[in-house]
Structure 1
Amino acid sequence: MASFEYNRAWGVILPVLFLISSNSPSWVLGAPQVPCYFIYGDSLADNGNNNNLETQAKANYPPYGIDFPDKATGRFTNGHTSVDIIAGFLGFDRYIQPFASAKGSEILIGVNYASGGAGIRDETGQQLGDRISLNHQLQNHLVTISRVRDMLGSNATAYLNKCIYTVGMGSNDYINNYFMPDVYQTGKLYTPEQYADVLIKQYQQQLKTLYSYGARKVAIFGLSVIGCAPTEISRFGTNRSLCVDKINSAVMLFNDRLKPLVDELNRNLADAKFTYIDFFGISTAGLPVLRVASSTCCKVREGGLCISFETPCSIRLLHAFYDGFHPTEIVNLVFGARAYTALLSSDAYPFDIHHLAMI
């Protein structure tokens, strides 16, 4: 019976993977398309930066990593993250190392600064404990730049200009800030429209700071359907809808401001090539087959993370969410593949990461 169910799962998933692979290059070893890849983000991209922090936002224990070669590394999923997938498509034959442990010449192929619980706003996620906000991640990048200059000298700036940078921030500014009125004031101070404006204004300055540090090829990830996360549904209810509509509506207000932001940055910053990846659209229009199972794959504790060492679901291919917040590897594969090579014209604006790398 288990074998039949697993085969049936592949029968559902394989058509999706075929559509991806027919529009995307295969993972191959060889020279990467860009010299390095730098990653900024939250738990969707964290690959170990939170492991040694005093925080509830950790994933360095089973059943996280059950399908990952190195097992529980700190990735908040069963296998690869979307940025792992993107790194593979870019031609890197090694995983981009977390800032917490990257050393020596490893930094020349890039660094992952992402931190679970982190946000655009410095206070975001503070109830979880330590986390590395986007401002702090940018400070960490200055440390990396200093090390790169020590190795490459006067060639460092030109080298960094050629790299790919991805930034995926904002989810926690809603989940672990705006929609926690008992902890944060933002939900009382701002309407959803005002809060989106406040976030975008700060985000704009942070992206300009990243540009001033040498970033020229930057992909900005839009927020996904965080109102469909099982823990958010459990917390707020859906009022007969499929998801928590007030959260997804607020997220859309933020996402709607990202295209104009990309246009403004490209227009006003010399040689800037910013682009927007529409993860919300990919979630709603591109992953209907993965809604077969909307419950969590692992057993979760209060707060939405997996209970340590509990056995997760056996057919992970049919689950969109691994824990109460984070997608399974199959969803990350779709996100990463379509961020790299757009399957629909709406997936990326003005171009996907493949074209960004070729510029």
Structure 2
Amino acid sequence: MTSEQKKWLVMHVIAIIFALKMVSFGVNGDPQVPCYFIFGDSLVDNGNNNGIASLARANYLPYGIDFPSGPTGRFSNGRTVVDTVAELLGFDDYIPPYANVRGEAILGGVNYASAAAGIRDETGQQLGARISFGGQVNNYKNTVSQVVDILGDEDSAANYLRQCIYSVGLGSNDYLNNYFMPNYYQTSRQFTPEQYASVLIQQYSQLVRELYNYGARKLVLNGIGQIGCSPNALAQNSPDGTTCVAKINSANQIFNNQLRSLVDTFNRELTDAKFIYINNYGIFQSLISSPQSYGFTVTNAGCCGVGKNNGQITCLPGQTPCQDRDAHLFWDAFHPTEAANVIVGRRSYNAQSASDAYPMDINRLAQL
């Protein structure tokens, strides 16, 4: 073989290797943002509750039955909303849980979410240990100190973190596992729904400002979905098992309206940051109002669980779930199926309706 032929062969092999790398990492190359930080509850928890003394855990089958690596702690048969958003942002892998991530892996982002967690510290305490919003913010502060160590100084860390997307999705449990659980909690006797929403928003605002003080500049504030339409709410409080529970949804809407107003306040006061609101309530309303157009045929029952419409509790270990999972809006008594999560994630990233995201969607936020 001549030297020219050898040279051509080497270049050809290099080209093939490069092409294979491009395929494995996706056509778009690097993700839209360098990192994605997630704060939330069981809707987006991906393993932080696995190692703590909590009844709110999902690290067993049938949870994860449709997820590539099986049960991880995700409260779904497969992907969550933030998994879908991570894909759309261009990340090669899903964002790891705080409980497991170590070293330079934190530079891609961390998921701090904890099942049963709320804005209020006492929320969900009847289920055992959980990491409240305040605890998650403290864990993020610990991550920031590690980012400073890795990048060398605070200025470098600040410049890096300001490019990242921050997703906050809490509040559901402050109603589900607090306000509407009068046998365990006093809040419904202490506050009207309007007062309670204001108390929640005040604490929420303080914690989000802490995230801002520790580098967050692109923040996604997620509204609460229609808790009153979950199989659990329908089984316990719906007169016919299909009509959503108005008093719960009404309270959720009060919170959401105040959260949307908070986005305006933050954008007015913190001008070097950008905040957006995701209208999960409205997105879910469209899924419930016209389920067939999204491929759903069952909207009032979980795919697995116990009791009426599988709506009393979550899936039992080893329980056999329904076969037509993509036809179900809900996976268990409280949580959506992967099919529903993917739709919500896509509409959060690229707003399908003008009301899905305010004042812009995640895709546009990432481009700022």
Give how far 1:303 is off: 5.6
Give how far 1:232 is off: 1.8
Who is 1:285 aligned against?
A: 286
Who is 1:351 aligned against?
A: 360
Give how far 1:272 is off: 1.4
Q: Does 1:186 align with 2:205?
A: no
Unaligned runs of 5+ in 2: 1-25
Who is 1:267 aligned against?
A: 268
Write out aligned runs for 1:192-231 (5 A): 192-231=193-232
Larger radius of gyration: 2
Give how far 1:286 is off: 4.3
Tell me, in whole angstroms, the C-alpha distance in 1 between the residues paired with 2:67 and 2:260. 34
CA deviation profile, 1:74-114 (whole Å, cap 9, x unmatched) = 00000000000000000001110000000111100000000
Who is 2:48 aligned against?
A: 49
Q: Does 1:117 align with 2:116?
A: yes
TM-score by length of structure 1 reads: 0.90
Is the 1:117–1:124 contact (alpha carbons within 8 Å) kept by the matching residues of 2?
Answer: yes
Is the 2:36–2:86 contact (alpha carbons within 8 Å) kept by the matching residues of 1?
Answer: yes
Determine which of 288, 299, 306 is the counterpart of 1:300: 306
**DSSP 3-state at the match of 1:100:** coil
Is the 2:234–2:242 contact (alpha carbons within 8 Å) kept by the matching residues of 1?
Answer: no
Give how far 1:220 is off: 0.6
**DSSP 3-state at the match of 2:152:** helix
Is the 2:169–2:222 contact (alpha carbons within 8 Å) kept by the matching residues of 1?
Answer: yes
Who is 1:168 aligned against?
A: 169
Read off the aligned partner of 2:34 and give its amino acid letter. Answer: P
Is the 1:28–1:91 contact (alpha carbons within 8 Å) kept by the matching residues of 2?
Answer: no
Tell me, in whole angstroms, the C-alpha distance in 2 between the residues paired with 1:28 and 1:250. 44
Read off the aligned partner of 1:113 and give its amino acid letter. Answer: Y
Read off the aligned partner of 2:229 and give its amino acid letter. Answer: C
* Greater relative CO (CA pairs within 8 A, separation 6+): 1
Q: Does 1:324 align with 2:333?
A: yes
Read off the aligned partner of 2:202 and give its amino acid letter. Answer: K
Is the 1:29–1:93 contact (alpha carbons within 8 Å) kept by the matching residues of 2?
Answer: no
**DSSP 3-state at the match of 2:174:** helix
Write out aligned runs for 1:133-148 (5 A): 133-148=132-147
Tell me, in whole angstroms, the C-alpha distance in 2 between the residues paired with 1:274 and 1:337. 19
Is the 1:305–1:324 contact (alpha carbons within 8 Å) kept by the matching residues of 2?
Answer: yes
Tell me, in whole angstroms, the C-alpha distance in 2 between the residues paired with 1:307 and 1:29. 41
% same residue? 54
Who is 2:18 aligned against?
A: none
